[in-house]
Structure 1
Amino acid sequence: MSSWKTHFTLGTGHLRAGRYQEAIDCFSEALHTGGDAASIREYRAAAYQKVGKLKDALRDAKTVIDLRPDRWQGYARSARLFHQGHKYDAASRMVELALERVPADQARGREGLISLKEDIDLAREAVRKLAVQNAYHFGNLPVEIATRIFSMALEEEHTLVLTLAQVCKNWRLTVLGTPAFWGTLVLGKHRPKQKVKLWRQRARDRFSALAILDSFSDTLALQELQDVPLDTLRVFRCEGYKLLPLLASISNLSTSVLASLDTLVLQSPYTSSYPICAPDTPELKWRILRFARFVPENLLQIAKRSTHLTSITLDDCPVFSLWSEFLLLLHRNPALTSLELSRLNTPASPQLPEGEATLPEVISLPVLEVVTISSCKSLANSLLPRLAAPSLKALLVASHSERLDVCMTWLAQGPAATLTALSLQRSPVQVSHLTTALKAATSLQSLQITHLSGVALAVLELLATPIGAAKPFRQGDDARSARRVHCPALRHLNLSHCPDVAASLLIAMVKLRLPETQAAAADSAEATEEAEDTPPASVQPLESLIIDGCPNVDAGVLPWLRAAVPSVSCIYLAKEKARWKR
């Protein structure tokens, strides 16, 4: 019978040569012939590991530990095998046991074990991070928190309820099991009758918003709403459908329900008007009111009963004969924050009907922040001077045919101090009145002047000239003068389609507001120990510049502008115009 050492020697030779199965056979034969079991199994475990038989390798490594528990090699082999099998806790434990048994004079073995432990810890952390990324955290959230998350998403876009219900089974169960998610019913041309039935079932007849789009025409769908209690309704939109037939078809949409709404949006398909609330309605709780192409014939009663409005929008409404009633509506709603008016004609001197209280000369709107006026002839000049708006943040005027001199004078006398955004589009204005308003706009952050001629050059000159200086800022000027500028908070400037924009003034304006220019100005003032009663406001660098359609801006200055300003747009011609010119 062959000696076990012969088979053992042959096995180690096969192992070094990469013939792992031959090595396993030789080690098994050596073990069968009664050799040193601990040494043979230790080598056979290494061969098993090479061919991927981790269970067999672990079995041999465990036997080695049982036979020689005081030696570290068996523990080290087990640690590597557990590591390879992604059992990191067991691998870490085996490394610790091996380190306890490594003799002090075997530094190389200890270093190898320490390196193995680091690899195990890194692999375990990588697995943990991957598990966190792929974990289904939503399933662990309390239902109340999940419901709140969905509610916040649906506040922005109610149609997301369908998307959320299709993500996974748990989401679907949550969405379908929460009636409040289905409280918004929008009816258009797409199967409105079936939609009413489905939404009624899922919302359990508790609707918070109802919208009838202009594409809606199926009157049979309205019959499905006959017996729906609408006392929970807070938003009602009728966009293009005739209101009177609608109110007649939905009996529960009563005047009391309309009076308790939070938001009312009405867009008439024809010019005749109609009342919205009954004469005996004590109070209207509306906060958001939007009318398009009509005004109610009882606007005076509405004005008397509305005191909670925060937003009013009128578009193409025949208010010429009811303008005093509209002014009374403004006067009765001091909490108004947003006012949007478009395509309105106004009388020169509005008067309330006889027997009604007179309007104040100036209507106080202490929290009004945003005013938008578009496509009007003289509205900005006739309305805004009658308003006291100490909190005005944004004024946007577009397509105003009458010159905005009166409006700019009103702005300069007060509201400009709090203004952060001013936009004038296709609206003529006297340069001197505009620059006077800009001088008072110390908090202005965004300025938009587009499709105007003879205005932008003067505006740029104002913005490029330090306060008290006689000419625009140039390199080499006294740095201290750069500390005080007009509109120091300005960060966004849009002068699109203004043919008089000059590149030299653009460069001077941008340079004046660069951080290095302001730092040099501060250093110069400090070096001269300049004492000031009122320190200058911090000058902000320009963050965006739009000069589309400005032919006088030479292309050679664009690289410098783009290096100095994070966002620059300069499109000379649209593709269609360029193609036509070619």
Structure 2
Amino acid sequence: MSSEQSWKKFFVEGLYHLRCQDIDKALESFNRAISVANDTSYVPYDSRAFAYEKQNRLKDALRDAEKTIDIAPEQWHGYLRSARLLAALGQTDDALWTCSLALERLGDGTEHEARRRELTDLREHLEAQTTKCPVSGMPVELLLAIFQLSRNPVVISHVCHQWREIVLSQPTLWRSLVLTAPAEKALLKSRYQGAGGSRDLRGLLATLRELDWTEIKECHMEGVGAESFFSTLNDGTTFLHQHLETLSISCERPYGVIVGREYIELSWENLRAFSVINGGCYWEQLSTSMRHLTSFEYKLESAPGIFIGFHSFLEANPGQEKPVIASADKPYPGRPRAPVPLTLAHLRHLELTGVVPFRVERGNSSLPSLQILRMTRLKGAASMLTEFVKDEGTPFAELVELSARTCALGSEILSAVLLQAPKLEILICTGDVVNAAVEFLTKRPCWAHIKDPASEDPTPILTILPILCPALSVLDLSQSADLKTGPVMRMVKERIALAGSWDGGRYHLPGEDGDRGISCIQALKVDQCPHIEEDMLPWFQKNVNV
């Protein structure tokens, strides 16, 4: 007898016991059928769920109904039973969602009319319950205030009919404009292909011009010429771009969209966040129209960046807090020397990949508030850090994270940075300097050069610390072929010993009133480090939390 014949034999026995109202024996037969069938059919699971439901074992029945869905996701059986069980268990939202899925799979055939009626009645009952919940009785003004905090009207509109009516009637909730491309995708919605493309845009623009754009704060575009679109949309009295606070532009191929080449008279006076992925930028032109950015992201995949005039763009936006710049690690044309000193007093987070997009020389670039510095495959990383270390305008006293992935730094410059970073909590380092870095982090006591942030005197103060970078708690040394087990163990031990000493490794930083205590290593990552001895991993797991 084949396995299929065997499970069907037990399955038929179970159906016989069900008809005889002997649920326990029916369950025994269904259990044997499931064991033999080995998940080749959803039928025994669906029948066992029915038997569990007869015994009011709802959670067991729901588990089998969900297994039915796993085995046969295109069948309606598991969804219908799950919807009924979820409703009985009080899981209203999940029951409503499962009702919709069951109705989709039942289709329009007349043979399922009774089941469709059952699901429709169940859905109406559940929707009536949601409208009776306490939050639905709140005044519309309070609901609207809550909805505005969520910043996602699309999701909210799917909760219930009442919320959908409120969301659709409130234009202040709709603050984002999303224009997608390439044209093959966008044509389904707007027939827009960008400049020189489809002529069917006129009807869309005529409709868009009638809307109130003053509440639109975010715009995300894929493969669309932003400037051309906004210039066409503006009718002389309505200027969409003037109200935008966030603008992101992306395309699939490098330089698929050029920003700043045309319509440079557009003024982005309220724009605070600007992102360009795989697009080209005319930095000189943008520096005349974008002057209030706090967040800036520029990424080019598999292509070198062209940064002519980039220094002027940075100079025009001194309030930047988080620039992220990534391009292929190839030389790019036109790398001019910085004409005037550049100070980004508010910059706290800097990410660079590929090449340094501006000339860093002593005295011409200052980042006094830098807290997070991330570098990946950055050419010129060592020379950039060298100039920052020498420059009095870029102290590392506030630095809490330093990441240098696949960067040729050299032990001397890394040591110089660490000596100026007493608040460093996260260090990510790969390459040939990792052993030296670990040795530095073991030094105790340590004389560090730290600038007093409360003092106007830029001269660093020679400060004694119990160990280098005493606040360090996260260390990632992954993909380091030369990393040895011994130095890492000594570094972890030294910090544990200092933290457990009678004074907890207390120390004082210039400009601070109280003392600090040394931190142990809380997270250590040594993936793909072949010289880390496997038999020492239990020791690390015992002494390091993560």
The answer to whether residue 500 in structure 2 is matched with residue 519 in structure 1 is: yes
Which of 547, 557, 560 lines up with 2:526 in the alignment? 547
Query: Is 1:381–1:404's contact at 8 Å kept on the other side of the alignment?
Result: no
Cα distance change of structure 1 residues 504 and 337 upon mapping to structure 2, 3 Å threshold: same
Deviation, 1:287, is: 1.5
Aligned twin of 1:304: 288
User: 1:343: which partner in 2?
Assistant: 327
Report the CA distance between 1:436 and its aligned residue: 1.2
User: Does structure 2 retain, via aligned residues, the 8 Å contact 1:311–1:339?
Assistant: yes
Question: Residues 483 and 518 of structure 1 are in contact (CA less than 8 Å); yes or no, is this contact kept in structure 2?
Answer: no
Distance 2:424 2:193 in 1: 39
Q: What is the aligned partner in structure 2 of residue 464 from structure 1?
A: 442
Partner residue in 2 for 1:235: 218
SS for the counterpart of 2:205 is coil
Structure 1 position 445, deviation (Å): 0.9
1:401: how far off? Answer: 3.5
Aligned-residue CA RMSD in angstroms?
Answer: 4.0
| Cα distance change of structure 1 residues 213 and 557 upon mapping to structure 2, 3 Å threshold | farther
Q: Does 1:289 align with 2:270?
A: no
Three-state SS of the structure 2 residue aligned to 1:238 is: strand
Q: State the alpha-carbon separation in 2 of the partners of residues 300 and 349 from structure 1.
A: 14
Matches within 5 A, 1:104-183: 136-154=133-151, 158=152, 161-183=153-175
Report the 3-state secondary structure (helix = DSSP H, G, I; strand = E; otherwise coil) of the residue aligned with 1:417.
coil
Contact 2:177 2:219 in 1 (8 A): no
Supply the AA of the counterpart residue of 2:521.
Answer: L
SS at match of 1:485: coil
Distance in 1 (alpha carbons) for counterparts of 2:403 and 2:273: 24
**Counterparts of 1:169 and 1:384 in 2: how far apart (Å)?**
63
CA displacement 1:476-501 (0-9 Å, x = unmatched)? xxxxxx97011111111100011222
Q: CA deviation at 1:274?
A: 5.9
Amino acid corresponding to residue 140 of structure 2 in structure 1: V
> Contact between 1:227 and 1:252, CA under 8 Å: does it hold in 2?
no
* Equivalent position amino acid for 2:275 in 1: R
Larger mean CA deviation between 168-177 and 187-196 belongs to 187-196
SS in 1 for 2:500: helix
Give aligned pairs, total: 381
Q: Secondary structure at the match of 2:403?
A: strand
Give the distance between the partners of 2:198 and 2:436, measured in 1 at CA.
58
Tell whether 2:298 aligns with 1:314: yes
Q: Matches of 2:238 and 2:260 in 1, distance apart?
A: 10
State how far apart, in whole Å, the 2-side matches of 1:442 and 1:525 are: 13
5+ residue gaps in structure 2?
A: 1-131, 448-463
Aligned: 1:497 with 2:489 = no
Alpha carbons of structure 1 residues 262 and 490: separation in structure 2 relative to 1, 3 Å? same
Q: What is the letter of the counterpart of residue 271 of structure 2?
A: W
1:485 to 460, 467, 470: 467
Map of 2:382 onto structure 1: 404
Q: Following the alignment from structure 1 to structure 2, what is the Cα–Cα distance between the partners of residues 383 and 150?
A: 49
- CA positional deviation for 1:433: 0.7
Q: In 2, are the aligned partners of 1:435 and 1:459 still within 8 Å (CA)?
A: yes
Match of 1:329 among 300, 309, 313: 313
Mapped pair 1:374 → 2:374: no
Distance change (3 Å), C-alpha of 1:534 and 1:556: farther
User: Could you report, residue by residue, the CA deviation over 1:293-342 in whole angstroms, capped at 9, with x for unpaired residues?
Assistant: 44444x4343134331112222238764x52x221121122211111111
Q: Does 1:444 align with 2:407?
A: no
Give 1:424 shift.
Answer: 0.6
Partners of 2:482 and 2:412 in 1: CA distance: 16
| Alpha-carbon distance, 1:509 to partner | 1.5
For 2:475 and 2:287, the matched residues in 1 are separated by 39
Deviations 1:132-161 (A, max 9, x none): xxx93422444333323322323xxx4xx3
C-alpha distance in 1, partners of 2:468/2:272? 37
Alpha-carbon distance change, 171 to 259 in structure 1, aligned in 2, over 3 angstroms: closer
Q: Secondary structure at the match of 1:227?
A: helix
Q: After superposition, what is the alpha-carbon deviation per residue over 1:497-527, rounded to whole angstroms, capped at 9, x for unaligned?
A: 112222222222112222x64232428999x
AA aligned to 2:411 is V
254 and 422 in structure 1: CA distance in 2 versus 1, 3 angstrom threshold: farther
Give 1:464 deviation, angstroms: 1.7
Instruction: Answer whether contact 1:405 1:430 (CA < 8 A) is retained.
Output: no
CA deviation string 1:16-69 (max 9, x = no partner): xxxxxxxxxxxxxxxxxxxxxxxxxxxxxxxxxxxxxxxxxxxxxxxxxxxxxx
The answer (yes or no) to whether the contact 2:482–2:529 under 8 Å persists in 1 is yes
Retained in 1: the 8 A contact 2:343–2:366? yes
* Secondary structure of the corresponding residue to residue 457 of structure 1: helix
Is the Cα–Cα contact under 8 Å of residues 446 and 490 in structure 1 kept in the other structure?
A: yes
Question: Which amino acid in 2 is paired with 1:239?
Answer: E
Match of 2:406 in 1: 426
Q: Tell me, what secondary structure is at the counterpart of 2:325? A: strand
Which of 394, 397, 417 matches 2:372? 394
Deviation at 1:427, TM superposition (A): 1.1
CA separation of 1:239/1:263 partners in 2, compared to 1, >3 Å: closer, same or farther?
Answer: same
Larger radius of gyration: 1
CA deviation map 1:112-134 (0-9, x unaligned) = xxxxxxxxxxxxxxxxxxxxxxx
CA gap of 1:221–1:513, structure 2 versus 1, over 3 A, is: farther
What amino acid is the match of 2:396? A
User: Which amino acid in the other structure matches residue 136 of structure 2?
Assistant: G
In structure 1, the gaps of 5 or more residues are 1-134, 198-211, 353-358, 470-481, 527-532, 568-582
Mapped contact 1:373–1:380 kept (Cα < 8 A): no
Confirm or deny that 1:455 pairs with 2:436: no
Q: Secondary structure at the match of 1:513?
A: helix
**What is the one-letter code of the residue matched to 1:174?**
I
What displacement does 1:221 show?
6.1
Q: CA deviation at 1:228?
A: 1.9
The amino acid of 1:566's aligned partner reads: N
Identity of aligned residues (%): 21
Matching residue's letter, 1:143: V
Q: Distance in 2 between matches of 1:415 and 1:315?
A: 27
What TM-score comes out, normalization by structure 2 length?
0.60
Tell me, yes or no, if the aligned pair for 1:412 and 1:438 is still in contact at 8 Å.
Answer: no
Letter in 2 for 1:551: P
- Calculate the TM-score normalised by the size of structure 1: 0.56
Aligned-partner SS, 1:422:
strand
Classify 1:302/1:381 alpha carbon distance in 2 versus 1 (closer, same or farther; 3 Å): closer
Instruction: Select between 425-434 and 224-233 the one with higher mean Cα deviation.
Output: 224-233
Q: Does the aligned pair in 1 maintain the 2:311–2:358 contact within 8 Å?
A: no
Amino acid at match of 2:443: T
